[in-house]
Amino acid sequence: MSEEIKRAWYKEMAVYQVWPRSFADGNGDGIGDLKGVLEKLDYIKSLGVDAIWFSPLYKSPQKDYGYDIADYRDIQPEYGTLDDFKAVLKGAHDRGMKVIMDLVVNHTSDQHEWFKKSIEDPDGPYHDYYFWRKGKGKRRPNNWMSTFAGPAWEYNEKLDEYYLHLFAVEQPDLNHDNPKVREEVKDIMRFWLDMGVDGFREDVITFISKKEGLPSSPYYFPIGTGIENYMHGPHLDEYLSEFRHDVLDKYDCMTVGEAPMMTTKKALHHIAEGPDQQLNMMFHFEHMAADCMFFSWLHTGFKLKKLKKVYTRWQKDLYGRAWNALYIENHDQPRIINRYGSVKYRVESAKTLATMYICQCGTPFIYQGQEIGMLNIALDSVDDYVDVSTHNNYKVARSLLGEKKAMDLVHYASRDNARTPVQWSAEKNAGFTTADKPWFYINPNYTEINVASQENDPDSILNYYRKLLKLRKENEVLIYGSYEEYYKDSGDLYVYGRFLDDKRALVVLSFSEENVSFTAPGGFDLSKGKLALSNYETCGAVNNGFTLRPYECRVYLFD
Ligand code: NOJ
């Protein structure tokens, strides 16, 4: 094994993300819950993953579906109790799976005790837990806009002050410059780690330090104005290091920080291995902008070359220095087949997309439903959507582009696309709930796209994911190997190699609905390689090449 790369359990694992409300309903009230998760632990394990990341399970008014936390030490009653959580934790551990919690500490809910007390007693200790500021005359304290659209300040009449909220109005930002807030965060971490959880996904953690004086921005965007004043802010290093040294280092745990607008250079600052490392991995967003500018509402159309460039940069810049977190879907992203794949070639493109990212160097994360190729949903009216950011972005889009285009964007970009209930079977309500009505719309395609129908089909997307994760697990070259890209100028093919000592892998992926011819790059003799995985049958090679069929993918291994 190459000496430059250090082994770690979090590097070898694959993670399954559960967004609890839509995963599985165990008590028949129409809402996903922990009882449902418990019943599905064997299914999750059967995928070949080693850990579960739970999107927030905590007590919350659900204005942002759990990312607005009212009590960090209790479970949302709709999802169950702390004992139910402990049963899931034990069930996961018994099956050899780790459990990762979402740590949402950039903000709380406005229903959190701290926030309520910050209003009740402006001279008390909790006022400074948040960013309360006087207005400037009739104007807000600065011109920042929420990342969900609309101003980032909300006025409170009783106090004649405004509070900062970078997300929804009901999500006031915590003031991490107050050492008491950081102590609270560390206590929350200890609470869950002592219970036995194995790590955290840290929500927008790179936003927790705001520039002193909260200056106005010289730029204006309808969404996120002022972001340069808190993205990667002045004390971020200090606060993350404090969390690591005071808490995380004392446990055998892992962290992955969510980091919008992150570059490799900045990321290395936080995740490069060594004494100054602050987090184990980071979820950056650059590869999620291959069909848009920054985020999916600024839709441009998918460009494979853009995607490849980003992937190659992250693979190369981090190799031997830091570790990638790999994902193509989560609860904030529309379904990937609608974005980077092909609905016409749904099964083929789902497998190609899976191979594309899971064979890279890093820890792969798989979002619920991704493993069966779930698709976006198109609801008739914006009123049918429940996600707060969908409504805000729709309003901005409608004012700029008109109703029709705004609605097209809702269908393409809404986070609700990823939040429809998991399609377990072709039975009533897709087997998600026994209630008459699930909490949210089920995609009508569930009669065809569901877990049960794919379980027994050896060529299903579901069984492909299982084979792919097994292949990764059994071949260290796919975990720890270095990365080299070929065919860089191709707008149809994505080809890369992985190298570890004398082992090599070649990953060949087509993103075309037409046939594309391919010759293996120098150094790879296909007649000496083993075709380890493909999404088509009868995959021969002639003269060291072959013709790829629509969205065909192949993984060759060489000794
Ligand atoms: C990122 C989370 O993934 C998203 O769902 C949430 O709305 C924001 N952070 C605010 O917590």
Burial (Cβ within 10 Å: 0-12, 13-18, ≥19) of residue 179: exposed
Distance from the alpha carbon of residue 134 to the mean position of ligand 1, in angstroms: 27
Catalytic machinery residues: 203, 258
Q: Kindly state the average pLDDT of the residues 193-198.
A: 98
Structure token pair of residue 135? 């207005």
222-264 pLDDT, tens digit per residue, is: 788 999 999 999 999 999 999 999 999 999 999 999 999 999 9
Kindly report, as residue ranges, where domains of CATH 2.60.40.1180 are found in the chain: 481-558
With the most atoms of ligand 1 within 8 angstroms of its CB, the residue from 148, 203, 205 to mutate is: 203
pLDDT at 37: 99
Distance from the alpha carbon of residue 170 to the mean position of ligand 1, in angstroms: 13
Kindly report, as residue ranges, where domains of CATH 3.20.20.80 are found in the chain: 9-103+192-204+235-381+420-465
Parallel, antiparallel, or unpaired: how do β-strands 58-59 and 254-258 relate? unpaired
Burial (Cβ within 10 Å: 0-12, 13-18, ≥19) of residue 531: middle
Q: Does residue 105 line the site of ligand 1, with CB under 6 A?
A: no
Q: Does residue 67 line the site of ligand 1, with CB under 6 A?
A: yes
pLDDT at 4: 72
pLDDT at 294: 87
Say whether pLDDT at 460 is over 70: yes
Distance from the alpha carbon of residue 125 to the mean position of ligand 1, in angstroms: 27
pLDDT at 540: 86
Look up the CATH superfamily of 9-103+192-204+235-381+420-465.
Glycosidases (3.20.20.80)
**Which residue is closest in CA terms to ligand 1's atom 6?**
67
**Which residue is closest in CA terms to ligand 1's atom 3?**
332
H helix runs in 416-553, sequence order = 451-455, 461-474, 476-480
Q: Does residue 167 line the site of ligand 1, with CB under 6 A?
A: yes
Q: Does residue 104 line the site of ligand 1, with CB under 6 A?
A: yes
User: Can you give the pTM of this predicted structure?
Assistant: 0.98
Atom of ligand 1 nearest to the CA of 389: 7
100-144 pLDDT, tens digit per residue, is: 999 999 999 999 999 999 999 999 999 999 999 999 998 999 999
First to last CA, the chain: 14
DSSP designation for 402: -
Distance from the alpha carbon of residue 507 to the mean position of ligand 1, in angstroms: 33
* Mean pLDDT estimate for the chain: 97
Q: Does residue 204 line the site of ligand 1, with CB under 6 A?
A: yes
CATH architecture of 481-558: Sandwich (2.60)
**Which residue is closest in CA terms to ligand 1's atom 8?**
67
pLDDT at 122: 97
pLDDT confidence band for 1 (50 / 70 / 90): low
**Which residue is closest in CA terms to ligand 1's atom 11?**
67
Q: How many CB atoms lie within 10 A of CB 90?
A: 13
Structure token pair of residue 50? 């080693």
303-329 pLDDT, tens digit per residue, is: 999 999 999 999 999 999 999 999 999
Q: Does residue 78 line the site of ligand 1, with CB under 6 A?
A: no
Q: Kindly state the average pLDDT of the residues 174-186.
A: 98
Q: Does residue 64 line the site of ligand 1, with CB under 6 A?
A: yes
271-297 pLDDT, tens digit per residue, is: 999 999 999 999 999 999 999 998 899
Distance from the alpha carbon of residue 362 to the mean position of ligand 1, in angstroms: 23
CA distances (Å), origin 431, targets 30, 44, 328, 421: 11, 16, 25, 9
38: three-class secondary structure by DSSP: helix
Say whether pLDDT at 450 is over 60: yes
With the most atoms of ligand 1 within 8 angstroms of its CB, the residue from 19, 103, 148, 204 to mutate is: 204
Q: Does residue 332 line the site of ligand 1, with CB under 6 A?
A: yes
Atom of ligand 1 nearest to the CA of 67: 11
